[in-house]
Amino acid sequence: MLFANCSSWAVRGPFAAVIIGLLAGCAGSPSRTLSVDGETFDLTNLDQQRASVVMAALSQVGTPYVYGGSDPSEGLDCSGLTQFAHAAAGLSIPRISTDQRAAARPVRLRPAPGDLVFFRTGPGQYHVGVMVDRDRFVHASTSKRHVRLSRLSRDYWRARYLGAGTYL
């Protein structure tokens, strides 16, 4: 369920992206916050394109993980999520995580909200997510079987981190 008053949003469920798109006019208001599963994200200082990528990614928290999935109504995989979030901001990016990494502009410093973070999760297995603040990122988790929030600072992700890239 989504609640909005142009200054504070709460998003739950895979259909929230449609509503967020309809409420995009709120994105220009001076105070923008987004709440997902009890966590609040302040998007006030983000430009509109970054905020759109972050909002679209966060709107998919709880969406089922489906290998090869690129449609939120059916389920998403990691690169389908990142492609969907960028499309919501009017950007076209490659479909596969390794192609997304190769085509993105490398981020040398700490990744910002909207930037992509890349991981090697096993031999020949790669993963991608969207940063939503300085530590948390949204990704389609194979182990948890849904789109979720995780922390880049966790040992598991730090050990597998390849770097960050951006299309913004």
Q: What CA–CA distance (Å, rounded) separates 92 from 90?
A: 7
Give pLDDT tens digits for 53-68.
999 999 999 999 999 9
CA angle 43, 65, 79 (to 5 degrees): 60
Which pLDDT score is estimated for 20? 45
Q: Give the pair of three-digit tokens for residue 51.
A: 């905020």
Domain ranges, residue 65: 3-166
Which pLDDT score is estimated for 21? 46
Q: Give the pair of three-digit tokens for residue 76.
A: 């998403």
* 146 counts as catalytic: no
128-153: average pLDDT: 94
Residue 127 has pLDDT above 80, yes or no: yes
139-167: average pLDDT: 95
Torsion of CA 128, 140, 61, 81, to 10 degrees: 60
Pairwise pLDDT comparison (80 vs 23), residue with the higher score: 80
* 139 counts as catalytic: yes
- Decide: helix, strand or coil at residue 24: helix
Q: How confident is the model at residue 167 (pLDDT cuts 50, 70, 90)?
A: very high
Residue tagged active-site, from 6, 26, 86, 127:
127
Residue 153 has pLDDT above 60, yes or no: yes
Tally the domains of the chain. 1
Residue 166 CA, distance from chain mean position = 12
Residue tagged active-site, from 26, 78, 86, 146:
78
CATH number at residue 150: 3.90.1720.10
Q: Give the pair of three-digit tokens for residue 35.
A: 């709440």
